[in-house]
Structure 1
Amino acid sequence: MVSPLAYIHPEAKIGENVEIAPFVYIDKNVTIGNNNKIMANATILYGSRIGDGNTIFPGAVIGAIPQDLKFQGEDSTAEIGNNNLIRENVTINRGTAAKGRTIVGNNNLLMESVHVAHDALIGNGCIIGNSTKMAGEIVIDDSAIISANVLMHQFCRVGGYVMIQGGCRFSKDIPPYIIAGREPTTFSGINIIGLRRRGFSNEVIENIHNAYRIIYQSGLNTTDALKKIEAEFEINKEIEYIISFIRNSERGIIR
């Protein structure tokens, strides 16, 4: 299962049933779990922590030092969960002193040439399209779909169950359950098809839709819109998530 043409540092920890192809490079201070497949010319560098059941395609680089001039060589990690597909030429940098680690959760698909910068946090069940670039300390919540060639500014957060149109660029947060698109990137409705596919009931979808009508179409400022939602809506977990996301947004949300 391990090619003699691969380089594995003697201090690296490799689990069971791991397939390592020719010309793979695995550095010291690396831990790789069970049932992973690492294809030719992948590079797993210092500080990488990889869970179980992942497939890493040719040319991927995990654990490279951050592209941050403030980085001083501090110990940090790039942590990959379980059952991820990391396609060709994906780059996932390790953390800095800011957070100490970059995290990609479970069951994600990172398509060709995606870049995940230092201290980023990607949740579970996300799909990230070809050549999308994520700057440092971004957060992507669970089940988000980000199309190809999206540019995401540092410190931004993307909510769960969103759909972001290809080619978007943004420097504000994108709240959960919506579609974001156009130029500049704006609210383009809620992600009805995605929510139905994920098993959300029509009643829940309608509540989400009504909440966003107040946020985006009532003419109220964000603070007053959230107060109106709290006064008039039954606060289930979806509405609570929307309110909490927007209220805690440091960069403000897209309009």
Structure 2
Amino acid sequence: MQTSIHPTAIVSPKAQLGVGVEVGPYAIIGEGVQVGDGCVIHPHVVLKGPVEIGPGNEFYSFCVIGEKSQDLKYQGEPTYLKIGAGNVFREFATVHRSTFRGQSTEIGSFNVFLAYTHVAHDCRIGNRCVFSNNATLAGHVIVEDHVTIGGLSAVHQFCRIGRFAMIGGCSKIVQDVVPFCLVDGNPARLRSLNLVGLKRNNFPEGTIKVLKFALKQLLDEGLNTTQAVEILEKQADKLQDIMTLVEFIKGSERGIIR
């Protein structure tokens, strides 16, 4: 399959396009952009470099991918964006490069970014995540695998979102979201396990039962976070996912949403 570039598109001679790339009308691909095989770039998309884009990504109209950081500390140093394979970026999605010389904003593979989503500088996104319309990440946010972020939600800089977590729509996230759980509200509170997400990903009933026990400790208003973690550590030998929770909470610098 040959690469196809619409005659109205502008492609820098210093950009690199893989095999079978489709570039639509009025798209702009700048210097230092590397586009992997089979990517589809719809009309009016803007790709700016330096950026490395893996195979099979699809960019819908009016995306701006790889623009410079909005961080006021940024002084024009060479910074990067790296995108894996099979992602979908819907209309008006924006993703920015890192703030710091030689560093990268990084997005994994098979994620879906719906309309008007924003990934700021120095974020790290895992695999198979879903960002609903207007979901917004500030700088330095870490999102692990299989996360769902509801529409019109905002995540404060330096927060972490644990794997298989879900953030409800219109939520305000100012602390870390523990794995496997659902948070919701403004400010967000820990509500329940992400049962739908766990079942869709074939978590065994036994695992879900143990995770319900862990959630009960985190929701217990009579326990502080340290006390809840001590209880969970005693159960960690029963299930690796409990240790995942313990390690996540211990590694939190901003504290966790409870």
TM-score range, shorter chain: over 0.9
Q: Give the whole-Å Cα distance in 2 for the aligned partners of 1:229 and 1:164.
A: 23
Equivalences for residues 163-182 of structure 1 within 5 A: 163-182=166-185
Q: Secondary structure at 2:237's aligned position in 1?
A: coil
2:130 corresponds to which letter in structure 1? I
Residue by residue, what CA displacement relative to the aligned partner does 1:14-35 show, whole Å, maximum 9, x if unpaired?
Answer: 1000000011101111111100
- Is contact 2:235-2:242 (8 Å) kept? no
Q: Secondary structure at 1:49's aligned position in 2?
A: strand
Q: CA RMSD in A?
A: 1.2
Q: Secondary structure at 1:234's aligned position in 2?
A: helix
Residue by residue, what CA displacement relative to the aligned partner does 1:142-177 show, whole Å, maximum 9, x if unpaired?
Answer: 000001000110001111111111000121011010
Percent sequence identity is 34
1:73 aligns with 2:73: no
Q: Give the whole-Å Cα distance in 2 for the aligned partners of 1:53 and 1:35.
A: 5
Report what 1:9 is aligned to: 12
Report what 1:207 is aligned to: 210
Report what 2:31 is aligned to: 28
Q: Give the whole-Å Cα distance in 2 for the aligned partners of 1:163 and 1:33.
A: 30
Correspondent of 2:155 among 152, 156, 160: 152
Q: Give the whole-Å Cα distance in 2 for the aligned partners of 1:233 and 1:158.
A: 21
Runs of 4 or more above 2 Å deviation: 232-237
Structure 1: gaps (5+ residues): none
Report what 1:122 is aligned to: 125
- Quote the offset at 1:205 in angstroms: 0.5
- Quote the offset at 1:236 in angstroms: 2.6
Q: How many residues align structurally?
A: 255
Q: Give the whole-Å Cα distance in 2 for the aligned partners of 1:75 and 1:175.
A: 34
Equivalences for residues 39-118 of structure 1 within 5 A: 39-97=42-100, 100-118=103-121
Q: Secondary structure at 1:212's aligned position in 2?
A: helix
Alignment TM-score, normalising by the size of structure 2: 0.96
Residue by residue, what CA displacement relative to the aligned partner does 1:87-113 show, whole Å, maximum 9, x if unpaired?
Answer: 000000000117811111100000000
- Distance change >3 Å, CA 226–CA 6, structure 1 → 2: same
- Quote the offset at 1:239 in angstroms: 0.9
- Is contact 1:98-1:119 (8 Å) kept? no
1:186 aligns with 2:196: no
Q: Give the whole-Å Cα distance in 2 for the aligned partners of 1:232 and 1:19.
A: 52
